[in-house]
């Protein structure tokens, strides 16, 4: 029995009740656009939580394995799978090594809104590259590191009446404690600069093919991007 835990263990029930309680799956047009048509592909959902993107990938026709460090999150994922079987396999494991997953065994890997919650970026990305077949795809989304950096807590009312977000302490990488947080998120997350993200992908042999910064639906997210998506291709067998 593994003693691996996650900062989401205590948040699993509230997270589940907020993001996808009925198990319909992820509703994210940018994710769908970047993933494309995964019909017949073997796809890993890394840090899948309660499984919303795993269900979406399965509904699009992929054969999906979800992996996460949080047993309480996986319990929700498995209960939804038992309720409406989609053939998804859920594994308890660390994104840092993806140890249960074999080298060059996946056509695609998705990591939705999780890299900023994973303590070590470099081994995680190296593990993603390891499990991808040559030419395989990697799609990831994160809280935008430029506009939600460690000193992100404050919004200011601009003179023209629009919201502006304060970005500060951008160069302070590593764990940071949020002063203002949404109740479904842990207090500590891991900030990295944009260049760290991109250089880590490139060093692991993942070629960046697209970035996306969709306009959000809240006033402040029409002023500055809230989420950043990466789309990559594995250039060589995992290293």
Number of residues interacting with ligand SAM: please give it, by CB under 6 A: 20
139 near ligand SAM, rule: CB under 6 A: no
80 near ligand SAM, rule: CB under 6 A: no
Pick from 94, 127, 149, 200: which binds ligand SAM (CB under 6 A)?
Answer: 94
Phi, psi (deg, nearest 5) at residue 50: -80, 5
Q: Rank residues 30 and 223 by Cβ distance to ligand SAM and give the closer one.
A: 30
73 near ligand SAM, rule: CB under 6 A: yes
189 near ligand SAM, rule: CB under 6 A: no
114 near ligand SAM, rule: CB under 6 A: yes
62 near ligand SAM, rule: CB under 6 A: no
Q: What are the CA-CA distances from residue 142 to residues 87, 98, 210, 233 (Å)?
A: 27, 19, 14, 18
95 near ligand SAM, rule: CB under 6 A: yes
8 near ligand SAM, rule: CB under 6 A: yes
Pick from 88, 118, 142, 225: which binds ligand SAM (CB under 6 A)?
Answer: 118
Question: Shortest approach of ligand SAM to residue 7 CB, angstroms?
Answer: 7
92 near ligand SAM, rule: CB under 6 A: no
Q: Which residues in 37-56 contact ligand SAM (CB under 6 A)?
A: 47-49, 52-53
Question: Shortest approach of ligand SAM to residue 142 CB, angstroms?
Answer: 10
88 near ligand SAM, rule: CB under 6 A: no
Q: Which stretch binds ligand SAM (CB under 6 A): 76-84, 88-96, 160-168, 219-227?
A: 88-96
58 near ligand SAM, rule: CB under 6 A: no
Q: SS3 for the chain, per residue?
A: CCCCCCCCCCCHHHHHHHHCCCCCCCCCHHHHHHHCCCCCCEEEEECCCCCHHHHHHHHCCCEEEEEECCHHHHHHHHHHHHHCCCCCEEEECCCCCCCCCCCCCEEEEEEECCHHHCCCHHHHHHHHHHHEEEEEEEEEEEECCCCCCCCCCCEEECCCCCEEECCCCCCCCEEEECCCCCCCCCCEEEECCHHHHHHHHHHCCEEEEEEECCCCCCHHHHHCCCEEEEEEEECCCCC
The closest alpha carbon to 83, from 19, 23, 14, belongs to 23
Q: Which residues bind ligand SAM (CB under 6 A)?
A: 6, 8, 19, 47-49, 52-53, 68-70, 73, 94-96, 112-114, 117-118
């Amino acid at each position: 029995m593994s003693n691996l835990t996650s900062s989401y263990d205590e948040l699993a029930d509230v997270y589940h009740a907020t993001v996808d309680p009925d198990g319909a799956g992820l509703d994210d047009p940018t994710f769908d656009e970047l993933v494309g048509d995964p019909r017949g592909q073997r796809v890993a959902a890394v840090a899948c939580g309660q499984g919303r993107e795993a269900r979406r990938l399965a509904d699009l026709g992929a054969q999906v394995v979800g992996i996460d460090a949080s047993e309480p999150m996986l319990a929700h994922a498995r209960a939804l799978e038992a309720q409406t079987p989609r053939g998804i396999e859920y594994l308890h494991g660390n994104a840092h090594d993806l140890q249960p997953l074999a080298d060059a065994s996946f056509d695609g890997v998705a990591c939705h809104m999780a890299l900023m919650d994973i303590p070590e970026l470099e081994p995680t990305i190296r593990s993603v590259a390891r499990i991808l077949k040559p030419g395989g795809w990697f799609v990831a989304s994160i809280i935008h590191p430029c506009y939600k950096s460690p000193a992100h807590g404050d919004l200011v009312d601009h003179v023209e009446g629009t919201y502006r977000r304060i970005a500060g302490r951008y160069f302070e990488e590593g764990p940071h404690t949020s002063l203002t947080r949404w109740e479904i998120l842990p207090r500590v997350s891991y900030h990295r600069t944009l260049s760290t993200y991109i250089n880590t992908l490139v060093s692991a042999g993942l070629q960046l093919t697209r970035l996306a910064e969709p306009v959000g639906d809240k006033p402040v997210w029409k002023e500055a991007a809230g989420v950043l998506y990466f789309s990559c291709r594995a250039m060589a067998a995992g290293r």
